């Protein structure tokens, strides 16, 4: 039984007596995918050829697509992503944000926040992503005074309203202001998360939004502070810290850093689920949320699911990756050869028998030469 179960009985009784309706929806979420478009090992490295077929690898975009498509077919589903799709594999080094947007377009997220790695290459790396994205990229705490050209992209917004299930659900994005320290030539400015979220939340409330989800990339500790100090926020979905949350025995090697969800209680007693789903496409967070018509959280249930071999890989994603794979494989092979060359250069056989034998000969020869020179000098004297 979750922590809301007992209050839920009382609240539900009250709701039944006053004819207030409840509604529920399934929230899918992930974060920090880091260009793991292919499946990964259990430690989230590159899956060796053949290991995925043997059930030794996890995740990848094609499995994410299957989970999202299957859930949406059942109805009442929202899919959100908390940023850092960029960076981490040769897929991104070769194709950049263009491929990230192309694949995310197929996943059709309801909203995506910006991760710090989306800004690794400043505007030249970020703008192609904005141009191609067919989904809302949400962030309320960007200071665009020095980069006004970003205001021209319809995909980049402070928040978005999802009108589903006869409800208005607001999604507010945020990013850690520390991004300015991670990116040496970052031309974008940043405001603090909490005041920016509060301003945007009040605006959404004035537009009739009764459920607000903060979706961002500042790390688990900041996510909990946002849940506590942002009065109008009902759910927080985070990324950046690669935090694995789980209640009970975890399905693989990751050790939980807290319960899923982690519940933060505001000073007014309002309880806020804080969610994160590790990283590298290995897990998908899945939670069912029940609210009343006033936006009060009534109940919740769910857990992150491990994207293992039991989940088929969706064909359209596989097709796109297959059509582009040769360039990535070429870079992988070149890097492997470079590593071998570097290893051979570094591996001078200092401990080998040949090296010791040659070194000993040199040492003896030098020693004998010194003796001969000394003897000759004595005789000359």
For residues 234 and 372, membership in a common domain is answered with: no
For residues 244 and 323, membership in a common domain is answered with: yes
| Contact between residue 32 and residue 115 where contact means Cβ atoms under 8 Å apart | yes
Q: pLDDT tens, position by position, for the chain (381 residues)?
A: 454 544 444 444 444 445 668 999 999 999 999 999 999 999 999 999 999 999 999 999 999 999 999 999 998 999 999 999 999 999 999 999 999 999 999 999 999 999 999 999 999 999 999 999 999 999 999 999 999 999 999 999 999 999 988 899 999 999 999 999 998 788 999 999 999 999 999 999 999 999 999 999 999 999 999 999 999 999 999 999 999 999 999 999 999 999 999 999 999 999 999 999 999 999 999 999 999 988 899 999 999 999 999 999 999 999 999 999 999 999 988 887 777 766 554 544 444 434 344 445 555 565 566 556 554 555 444
Q: Is residue 34 part of a domain?
A: yes
For residues 235 and 361, membership in a common domain is answered with: no
**What gap in Å lies between CA 113 and CA 158, rounded to an integer?**
10
Q: In what order do the strands lie in the sheet with 211-217?
A: 159-164, 167-175, 211-217, 235-237, 271-275, 262-265
CA dihedral 234, 283, 61, 242 (to 10 degrees): 70
For residues 177 and 308, membership in a common domain is answered with: yes
Q: Is residue 344 part of a domain?
A: no
For residues 162 and 41, membership in a common domain is answered with: yes
Q: Are strands 271-275 and 262-265 parallel, antiparallel or unpaired?
A: antiparallel
| Residue with the two structure tokens 């359209």 | 316
Q: Is residue 225 part of a domain?
A: yes
Q: Is residue 70 part of a domain?
A: yes
Residue 366's domain comprises 352-381
Number of domains in the chain: 2
Q: Is residue 8 part of a domain?
A: no
**What gap in Å lies between CA 103 and CA 39, rounded to an integer?**
15
* The token pair that represents 227 in the structure block: 């849940």
CB atoms within 10 A of CB 83: 29
For residues 58 and 143, membership in a common domain is answered with: yes
For residues 88 and 226, membership in a common domain is answered with: yes
Q: Is residue 376 part of a domain?
A: yes
Question: What is the CATH number for 200?
Answer: 3.60.21.10
Integer CA distances (angstroms), 356 to 347, 349, 351, 364, in order: 15, 9, 7, 12
Q: Is residue 14 part of a domain?
A: no
């Amino acid at each position: 039984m979750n922590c809301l179960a007992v209050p839920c009985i009382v609240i539900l009784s009250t709701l039944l007596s006053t004819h207030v309706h409840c509604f529920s929806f399934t929230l899918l979420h992930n974060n920090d995918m880091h260009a793991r478009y292919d499946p990964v090992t259990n430690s989230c490295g590159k899956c060796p050829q053949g290991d995925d077929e043997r059930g030794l690898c996890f995740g990848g975009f094609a499995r994410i697509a299957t989970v999202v498509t299957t859930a949406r077919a059942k109805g009442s589903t929202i899919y959100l992503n908390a940023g850092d799709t960029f960076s981490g594999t040769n897929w991104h080094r070769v194709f950049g944000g263009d491929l990230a947007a192309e694949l995310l377009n197929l996943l059709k997220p309801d909203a995506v926040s910006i991760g710090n790695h989306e800004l690794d290459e400043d505007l030249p790396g970020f703008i192609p992503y904005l141009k191609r994205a067919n989904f809302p990229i949400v962030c309320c705490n960007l200071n665009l005074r020095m980069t006004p050209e970003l205001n021209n992209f319809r995909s980049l917004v402070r928040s978005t309203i999802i009108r589903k299930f006869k409800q208005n659900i607001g999604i507010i994005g945020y990013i850690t202001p520390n991004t300015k320290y991670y990116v040496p030539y970052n031309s974008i400015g940043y405001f603090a998360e909490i005041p920016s979220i509060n301003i945007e939340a009040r605006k959404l409330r004035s537009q009739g939004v009764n459920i607000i989800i903060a979706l961002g990339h500042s790390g688990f500790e900041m996510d909990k502070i946002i849940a506590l100090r942002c009065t109008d926020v009902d759910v927080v979905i985070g990324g950046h810290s690669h935090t694995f949350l789980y209640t009970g025995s975890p399905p693989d090697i990751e050790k939980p850093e807290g319960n899923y969800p982690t519940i933060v209680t505001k000073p007014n007693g309002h309880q806020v689920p804080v969610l994160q789903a590790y990283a590298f496409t290995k897990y998908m967070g899945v939670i069912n949320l029940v609210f009343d018509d006033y936006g009060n959280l009534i109940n919740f249930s769910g857990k992150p699911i491990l994207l293992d071999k039991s989940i088929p890989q969706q064909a359209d994603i596989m097709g796109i990756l297959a059509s582009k794979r040769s360039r990535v494989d070429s870079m992988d092979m070149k890097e492997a050869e470079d590593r071998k060359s570097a290893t051979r250069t570094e591996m001078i056989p200092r401990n080998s028998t040949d090296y010791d034998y040659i070194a000993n000969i040199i040492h003896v020869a030098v020693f004998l030469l010194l003796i001969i020179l000394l003897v000759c000098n004595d005789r000359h004297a």
